[in-house]
Structure 1
Amino acid sequence: MHALIVEPSPTYQRILSRMLQSYDFQLSFVDSATAGFRALTQQRFQMICVAMYLPDLTGIDFCQHVRQRDSEVPIFIVTSETDPELLSSALTAGASDIIRKDDLPRLEESLHALIPLGPFRYNISGKALYLEDSLTVAKATDAKLKRLGLQMDHAFSIQQALQLLDNHMYELIMTDIVLQDNETGIEFIQQLRADHRFAQTPILAVTSLESVNRRIQALQSGANDYISKPVLDEELFARINNLISATRLVEQLTRERQRLLELATKDHLTGLYNRHFLTELAKRRFVDANRQRSALATLVLDVDHFKQINDQYGHQTGDRVLKRIASALQAQCSEDEYIARFGGEEFVVLLTGCTLNAASEKARQLCKTLQQLQPEGISTSVSIGVTCLSATQDEYFDEVFARADKALYQAKQQGRNQVVTLAP
């Protein structure tokens, strides 16, 4: 099979080359759309990988031109762009998939779905551990796993296997069921599943026993699959490929879930919590504080004259100033002190278990720290409004925030770069 890589960066050419070599592709590299079109007239390709930005065209334009004469060839656009409209335009232009540069393993998964592979051409790499008391069987299995792209470590006993697991990472663990010295693979599997480090590692049980109950016991102990001796190569390859592919899919879904969680809770510029998340969090914290009659303080900070910074230095510099201020706030606050960018140049800090006096002192320290920060070489200061939850009656975030915001307004009116505290 032939693959065309249209990528101006030598670094990404090398990365993609390493990723595709296990597919036995014959790779052709070009660094521009013009050179890509010329290559397409000279050779039939089974896959095209193109960068979003080329010296002469965009990857989207390149994709549109290719689709005018070939509607079937898989085209992958590789990019660091996150703009949904731009990515949607790429798919509309005929791209088979969009591959983020920070998630290149997705290219391998897309290739599995779109490109027919031969029975032994699985895209697997990494290391496997095999617990097997027969050296002959272990050597034969090692030769088979090498054909898949897996390096294999061999252990004769559970103790040896556990020692290897303490020092190496494995894509797959295989174990025979019947071992020497009255050990069993069932026992080994149970020990692995009791250790959180190996909760998601795929385990393949290998058995020569015909007992259905023993196979069920292996699965109930935590094995993901089992295979019977004598092991057929094709079956071994297929089962290992399925186990590792499923594990990688779970890992990808976990990463995607984490990314979506961050999008839902974090401010995209500063990495602090966003307004929506802090509001929801504050509701729970205020209910708890009211019930327990515990202290809870709120700070509202605003960067003084921030519009002048944007006007004089530009919005990109303004964004960098906000990021530096956010980092400084994080450095000054502990894990149980929640910071959010509430909008524009305004930040809110929720201090659980903090009295009004302690919150006022905290605010003065922040005011001093941020005045000395000099982000991007620019003199900056903040005004801070401080208040706390009433100790005698139930209050909730909206009304406490309004009081802190009123204190902030007073700080602005009194000349900025100061702290104003309002008691409940």
Structure 2
Amino acid sequence: MTARILVVDDVPANLKLLSARLTAEYFEVMTATNGTEALEICARAQCDVVLLDVVMPGLDGFEVCRRLKADPKTHHIPVVMVTALDQPADRVRGLEAGADDFLTKPVADVALLARIRSLARLKMLGDELRLRAQTTREIGMTDALVEAMADDGLHGRVLLVDDRDVSQSRIAAALATGQSVSSEPSPYEALFRAAEGEFDLMIVALELRDFDALRLCAQVRSLERTRMLPILLVADHDQTARVIRGLEVGVNDYLLRPLDANELVARVRTQIRRKRYNERLRSNLLESMALAITDGLTGLHNRRYMEMHLQSLLDQATARDRPLSALVVDIDFFKRVNDTHGHDAGDEVLREFAARLKASVRGIDLACRLGGEEFVVVMPETDAKVAQLVAERIRRRMAGDPFRIARGARTIDVTASIGVASFDVAVDDAASLLKRADVALYRAKSEGRNRVAADAA
């Protein structure tokens, strides 16, 4: 996997050393000698991971990291602090500044490269979400992301998988004030609990007695319901090789014993913040997808969705040799409603009309607002005779009860004209089917409105 790495260090020898090590592994390397230059490069979205020295003149690494994580445009870029500072308090300070990891020099090549690859994979997944949600961001997603960025990573649900009572108790006690911890000594049960529960993080002890902890991590990654659940590995100092293997199978972060309680708390919060941030991205993406295929006024599917989905329904009907029918429904004299009572009243009529239309058809039927006062219903498994009965039911439901307007203060009578056409595999495609239903609609209008007309193939 290739990625673009930004190395930030004010010491030329350090830049050359890290650049050579990364280039040898086929990473694309960029360099910066100070914090201001690093911020400018990141703002141009020119890197996938930042390797950031802490001790630099001007802006130090902590401040650079804080600024990167405070900016919606750069918040998603993983930051690894690489420094000679080796105290737990230094690591905690880096993590609290927003760093994704804090590595102490000298850093072993294998550990560094495994960490970079892991973070680059996560970043690329986030990039895909961000790209797909671009339109949503332009119409208001920035506010949602700023809110997500401000998340403190507290009050998460943590599943702790550790079969040693003393270790389990210490980890749970360290996290008790900020997180809700559920302990599970059995890795078999842990997998089920992870899939069934709404956890924000799984902590796994690498040294489980009768089970390979990395196999559990791989299983968590393979299940659809737990694929995005962050995993924090807890290991002994002599298990570095297995930790690196864990990063390769999808572990997000790790801690080596003896554990520093403050660092544990900071790393847990980092993982929970990142999960919530990505969840917000996915949520906005799903919302934007729904908006793209839904009519905002009536809640029915829109013309775009109908055009995408209708051909699939026709293909299915052809393959199974099953009937399919379409209705084109138009509100009679709708312009009079707007002209007489105003556009607000017209909107109320459209919403109520859509609600009655949807209540008149089955769940498998496709009800759409084609535009203006025109609607379409596509009915799989429905022949011409049944389609006309459904159309007549819709017509009666519209004409049977007055429509309320002015927030219920007044009522008006509303009727509909409906054209019906049934799919003929020998002559029809999506366009011709709707065209025949439309021709039938115009005949219903010309014959006096408030009626159903059918068009034969």
Q: What is the percentage of aligned positions where both structures have the same residue?
A: 29
Give 1:290 shift.
Answer: 5.1
| Secondary structure of the corresponding residue to residue 211 of structure 1 | helix
Aligned to 1:409: 442
CA contact (8 A) 1:173 1:202 kept: yes
Aligned to 2:171: 141
| Secondary structure of the corresponding residue to residue 201 of structure 1 | coil
Aligned to 1:44: none
Q: Which of 186, 207, 210 is the equivalent residue of 1:178?
A: 207
Q: Which of 319, 334, 342 is the equivalent residue of 1:314?
A: 342
CA contact (8 A) 1:133 1:155 kept: yes
Aligned length: 316
Aligned to 1:158: 187
Structure 1: give runs of 5+ residues left out of the alignment.
Answer: 1-46, 48-83, 92-96, 113-121
Q: Which of 393, 397, 401 is the equivalent residue of 2:430?
A: 397
Runs (4+) of structure 1 moved beyond 6 Å? none
420 and 378 in structure 1: CA distance in 2 versus 1, 3 angstrom threshold? same
* Mapped pair 1:261 → 2:294: no
CA contact (8 A) 1:304 1:416 kept: yes
Give 1:205 shift.
Answer: 1.5
Answer 1 or 2: higher relative contact order, Cα 8 Å, separation at least 6: 2
Deviates more, 1:253-262 or 1:370-379: 370-379
CA contact (8 A) 1:134 1:156 kept: yes
Give 1:386 shift.
Answer: 0.4
Aligned to 2:370: 342
After superposition, the C-alpha distances for 1:220-274 in whole angstroms (9 at most, x for unaligned) are 5543332221223454344323322222222122112112212221111111111
Amino acid at match of 2:167: V
Aligned to 2:122: none
CA contact (8 A) 2:153 2:272 kept: no
Aligned to 2:384: 356
353 and 275 in structure 1: CA distance in 2 versus 1, 3 angstrom threshold? same
| Secondary structure of the corresponding residue to residue 180 of structure 2 | strand
Q: Which of 420, 430, 441 is the equivalent residue of 1:386?
A: 420
Give 1:216 shift.
Answer: 4.2
287 and 127 in structure 1: CA distance in 2 versus 1, 3 angstrom threshold? closer
145 and 260 in structure 1: CA distance in 2 versus 1, 3 angstrom threshold? same
Give 1:159 shift.
Answer: 5.5
- Give me the whole-angstrom Cα distance separating, in 1, the residues matched to 2:278 and 2:153: 17
Aligned to 2:403: 375
CA contact (8 A) 2:230 2:252 kept: yes
Give 1:407 shift.
Answer: 0.9
- Give me the whole-angstrom Cα distance separating, in 2, the residues matched to 1:245 and 1:123: 5
Deviates more, 1:399-408 or 1:190-199: 190-199
98 and 108 in structure 1: CA distance in 2 versus 1, 3 angstrom threshold? closer
279 and 238 in structure 1: CA distance in 2 versus 1, 3 angstrom threshold? same
| Secondary structure of the corresponding residue to residue 328 of structure 2 | strand
333 and 219 in structure 1: CA distance in 2 versus 1, 3 angstrom threshold? farther
CA contact (8 A) 1:290 1:395 kept: no
Amino acid at match of 1:339: A
- Give me the whole-angstrom Cα distance separating, in 2, the residues matched to 1:353 and 1:163: 40
- Give me the whole-angstrom Cα distance separating, in 1, the residues matched to 2:262 and 2:181: 18
Aligned to 1:229: 257
CA contact (8 A) 1:296 1:350 kept: yes
Compute the TM-score of the two structures, normalised by the length of structure 2.
0.61
- Give me the whole-angstrom Cα distance separating, in 2, the residues matched to 1:317 and 1:292: 44
Give 1:309 shift.
Answer: 2.4
Q: Which of 302, 306, 316 is the equivalent residue of 1:278?
A: 306
CA contact (8 A) 2:365 2:380 kept: yes
Give 1:300 shift.
Answer: 0.3
RMSD: 3.1
395 and 290 in structure 1: CA distance in 2 versus 1, 3 angstrom threshold? farther
Amino acid at match of 1:341: R
Structure 2: give runs of 5+ residues left out of the alignment.
Answer: 1-69, 71-134, 405-410
Aligned to 1:58: none
- Give me the whole-angstrom Cα distance separating, in 1, the residues matched to 2:279 and 2:249: 22
Give 1:194 shift.
Answer: 5.0
